[in-house]
Structure 1
Amino acid sequence: MKYLNGFLLFTILLSTSLYGQNQEKIDSLTSAYKKQKEDTLKVQTIKALFNAYLYSNPEVAKKFAEEQLALSRKIGFEKGVASGLYNLGVYHSNVDNIDSSRIYYQNAFKKYNQLMDLDGLTGVNHGLAILEYSEGNYSKALGLLDKNIKLYLEEVNDSSGLAMTYDFIGSINMYMGNHNIALKETLKALNILAKIDEEIRKADALNHLAAIEFYLHNFEESIDYNLQALQIYRNENDRYFEAQALNDIGNTYYYLEEYEKAIEILGQSLDISTEMGIVILQATAFNNLGKAHAELEQFETAISYLERSLSILENSTNRNKTAEVLNDIGNVYNAQKEPELAITYLNKSIALADTIQARENLKNGFFYRSNAYENMGNYKMALIDFKNYKSTTDSIFDATKSKQIEELRTIYETEKKEAEIALQQEEIKTLNEKAKVDKLTKGLYAGGMASALALFGLSVFGYRQRIKKNRIAREKQEEIYRQEIEHKKKELASQTLHLVQKNTFLEELKENLENLKSSPEKFKMEFRRIVMLLKKEKASDKDWETFKTYFSEVHNDFDQKLKTLYADISEKEIRLAAFLRMNLTTKEIAATMNVLPDSILKSKYRLKKKLGLGKDMDLTSFLNTL
C-alpha cells in the first residue's frame, strides 16, 4: 500500500479510545479515586482513569490497569478481573507487544465467557482482530469481526460498537485493495455515528474514509475528510490522532506536488509525535519529510530525514516500511549521481522485499537499481534489473485483476445474503400483518363491516406484491453481478495471453544474455543489437495470429464478427479493436504497436468512421458488445 506509508495499522491500534483527553475529567476522577474505599466502585474509577490516560500517558495508564486487576482479585470482583486483563491487552497492543497482548486478551476472553458477558467478549474479539490484522492475517481478523457483527445485530445493543466494527472491516478491506467494499463498510459506520453522540468515533471513521479516497487518488476529498477529523481530535484534545491526521494531510499534499505545504504540516505531525513518544509515527513523518525535500532537490536534508526514519524502523517489526525507506534513500542517491551508494541501499531493499513478498517495493527497488547501473555504464545489469522490474509489474497487474474479480464475488455474495435477510424480514412482517388481518376479519364479520374487510385484504395483497417485487429485483442484481464477474474473467484471460507472449520473448532475451557471458568484449555491440531487437519486437507481428486465435475463443469469435459486419476491415484495425476490447489505454496500445499516442487516436477515429458509428456512440463501448 504505497500511498499511506504503512500508517493504517497505527490508526486501527488506536481506534479503541473512548475518551478525549480532558484534564478536568482526569482531575475529577483522581479526586474520587483518592476518597473511595476498596470496592467495586473504586475499580470502575480506576478503569476510567486508565481510559483517560491511555492516549496521553500510556505508562501511567498501564499502572492503573495493573492496579485495577490487583484490586479486583483482592475483593473477588470477577468482572473487574476480566476488564483489567482486557485493559492490559489494549496497552500492550498499543506499544506493539503483540505476544503479551494476545495472552492478556485470551485470559480476558476466558473470564468474560465464564461470566457470559457478551459486551466483554465483543471487546476482546475486536482486540484480537487488531492483532491478527497487524500480522497480516486478514481472513482471521475479518472472521472475528463477523462474530461481533452477529452479536451486535442479535444480542448486544451497542450502536457505537457496531459502527466501530463496520469501520474496522472497511479499513482492512482498504488495505487488501477492496476499495468498493471498504467504502461501503465505512459509510455504514458513519451513518450509525451520525445518529449517536460519539464524536471521537466519527472522527476515526472520517479519517478512514479519507484514507479510502486517498487510495482512489481523490486527494482533495481525502484532505477534506481529514480536516474534519482533525478538528474533532483537537476539540477532544486527542493528541495521538491529531498527529496522525496531520501526517496523512501532509502526505496527501506531497502527492498533490505541493511540497512546501507538505513539509509545513508534516513538521507539525513530527513535533506532536516526538512530544508524545509515538515512535512509529516519527519514522513515518521523517520518511515523508525526506521525500518532500528530495522533490525540492534539497538532497542533504532529505538523506538526513530518511536515515533517521531508517534508524527507527530497523528496530521495529515493520519490514515492508523498512524496504520502502531503503528504496527512497537509493532513489535520492540516484538523483545526486551517486549510483554506488544508491546500489548499497537498493540491494538491501530488494533482498528484504523479496523475502516478505512485498511486490510494490520489490518493483520499485528493481527500477531504481536499473537506473543506478545505467548511470554507472553497466548496461548489462541495468537491462537485467529492468527486465525484473517489468516482470514484477506484470505480476502486480495480474494480481490486481484477480483481486478485482474476488472483490466482485464478495460484493455479490454479501448483497445476496443481505437480500435474503431483507426478504425473510419482509415475509415475517407480512405474516404478522396477515395474522392481524385474520384476527380483525373475525371481528369485522361479527360487526358486519365488509368494506373494511376488503380494505385489509388489499393490504395483504400489497405486502405479497412487495415480496414478489423484492425477489425480482434481487434476481436482476444477481444476474448483473454474474455478468460483471464473467466479463472480468474474460478480461483477465486476455491479459494473461498477452503477457505469455511477452514473457516468451523475455525468456529468449535471457538466453541471449547468458550466451554473452562467455564473450564480454562483445557486449557493447551486442547491447545495441538487443535494444534494436526490443524495438522490433514491440512492432512485430510475431505470434499475432496465435494470440488472435485465443483472443477470439475468449471473446466469442471477435475478429470474425468484425469481418462479417465490415468486410473491408484491415488486420491492423482488427488488432487495434482487440486491444480496445481488452480495455488497454491509448498509451498502452501505442507502446505495444510502437507508435505515438497521437497515431492511435487518429486510427481510432478512422476505425469509428469506418464502422459507421455516430458521435454519441463510444467506440470501446460498441466493441464490448461484440
Structure 2
Amino acid sequence: MRIFTFIAFFLLGTVAKSQNILETTKQALDSVELLQMQNKTQDAIQTLNRAIHSTDSFDDLAYLYAYQSGLYVSKDSLLMGKKLLDRSLEAAENAKNNPSKAVAYRAKAYLNFRLNLPDAVVKDALTGLNYLEGDNTDLTTKYYLNYLLYSTYSRWGDEEKMEKYILKCRQYAIAGNDINLQVNVNNGMSSMYLARYRKTKQTSMLDSTLLYLNKSFGLHRSHPKKVSGDTFVITCINMANYYLEFSTESMEVRKKKAFHYLQLAEGRLQKEEASSEKWINVFGIKSGFAKKEGDISLAERYLLQGLSLLVSDKGNYFKLEYRVNKELAGIALKRNDLKSALEYQERSEELLKKSFDEQQLLNAQKLEIQYETEKKDQQLKLLKERETFRKKQNYLYGGIALALLFGLAFMFISYHFKLKYSIEREEKLKREKEESEHRANLQLKFEREEQSRLIAEQELSEIKRQQLEKEALANSLLIEHKNVMLQQIKSKIKEGDTGKIQKLLKEEMLLTANFEDIKVQIQEVHPNFFNRLNQLAVRKLTPLDLKYCTYLYLKMSTKQIAQTLHVEPQSVRMFKYRLKQKFDLGKEADLDTFLGDLS
C-alpha cells in the first residue's frame, strides 16, 4: 500500500497578524490557531462565531468569515463554505484595507481548489496577491496564496512554476518567523523533489527529498510547541514512507528508523492532535514492511488494526476503508484464503458504493455552487452589458447634444453683435440702477446717523435735566433746613437765651457736615423715585411726605432725621406710621425695606 503525502495548506498554521484588524479579532484568530494546532476544528468554528457577533468592522468580518469558510470547506461542507465566502467577499468590498480584500480572495481560491477549478484558483490567488503588493502587514495570507498557486501547478506538473511559488512560500514563512509554515514548506519541497524523481529516476532528487524531510523534523525538534499535530504526523509518515520505498539501507535499519517515526506519529494520534485518517497511513506503512519481509499474516493484522482505529472515529472515510479492504482481499488471495478474500471484496464493494454516494453528494454541492457562481457571473455579465449599453447610449446622447451645441453656437455667432449691444445697454442700465441705489443707501445711512445723533443729544439733555432736578431737590432741602434754623435762632434771640443759641449753632455745624454727604446721596436718587412713590400711595403725598421718604430711602436713622428737621424722634416715628398708612402697608411690613425695594 503505497503512501506519500504532504501538508494541507489552509488554516493549519499561524493566523494572520494583520495590523488592520482590531485587537479582539487578533485574539480570536490566535485562539483559532491554537485550536487548529490541537485538531479541534469545531471549537475553532464556535470561536469565530463569537468573534463575528462582537464586531461590525468590515475589515474584521472579511477575515473572520474567510477563515470560517476555509474550516467548513476543509470538512467538505462546501455549500456552507460558499455561503460564508460570499459574506467575506461582501465585507471585503466595504473594507478600507487591502489585506482584508486579499484574505477573502484567499478563501475563494481555496474553495475553487476543492472544486477542482484550477484556472479559477490561479485567477483568485493572483488577485489576492495584487491586493498585497508592497504590503507586508499580512505575510501569512501571502504565504497561503502562493501555496495555492504551488499546489495548482503541482496538479498540472509545471515544475518551473511549482518551484517559483514554493520558494516564495519559504520566503514569507521565514520572514514571518512562522515555524509551522516553514515545516509545511519543507514538506512541500520534499514532495516536489519526489515528483521529479518519479519522472526522471535521478537519485539526487531522492537525496533532496530526504534533506527537506530532515529539515522539517529538525524544526519540530527545536520548536515542538510551534508545529501543529497534523503537520508533525505527516512529516513522520513521510519519513517512514521514504524508508519503506526509497532507502537503500538494510531492511532491518530501514524498519527501525521507519517504526521510530511511526511511533512518534502514533503518540500524537492517540492524543487526537491529528486527523484520524492518518492511522491508515501509519499501519499501511507497517503492513508494507511486513509484506517486504514476507509476513503476510502480520501485514493483514496491521491493516485490520489501522481499519479498526479508523472506523472507531465518528467521520466517514469510505474511500480509505475501500482501499484497505481491497488491500486485505489481495493479501487473503496470497494466503489462498478465498472465503476471506471474498468477504473483503464484498465489503470493499459496499464501501465503494458508499464512497460513490458520498462523492455524488459532494458533486451535487459542487454543481450547486458552480450553478450559483455561474448565475451570479451571468447577472454580473448582464449588468456589465447594461452598463456598456448605457455608456453607448450616453455617447449617442452626447453626440446629439454636441450637434445641438454647435447649432446654438452658430446661432449665437449670427446674433452676436445684436446681443452684444443689448447686453451692453442692459449693463449700463444696471450700473445706473446700482449707482442710484448706492446714493439712496448713503442718504438713508446719513439720515439714520443724524437721527442717532439727535437721540443721543436728547438723552444727554435728559440726563442733565435730571441732574439739575436732583441738585435742586438737594438745595431746596438744605434751604428749607436753613430757614427752619434761622427761625429758631430768631426765636431764641427774642427770648434772650444765648446758651441755647450757641447749642443750636454747634448742632448746625455738625448737621451741615453730615448734610453734605446727604446732599451727594440725594443727587444719586433717580427722579422716577418720586413718581413711583406717588403711584404706590393710596393717598396723596405732601412735599413733607416726599422729604421723609427721601431721608428713609437714604438709610438715615430716626435720630438723624429728627436732628435734620429739628423735631423730636417721637415725631419722626409718628410720621413714619402715617406714611405706612398712606402706602397701605400692614403692621408687619417694614417701611425702610419697602422704600429700599424701590431701587
TM-score normalised over the length of structure 2: 0.48
Whichever of the two has the greater Rg, that structure is 2
> TM-score when scaled to structure 1?
0.46
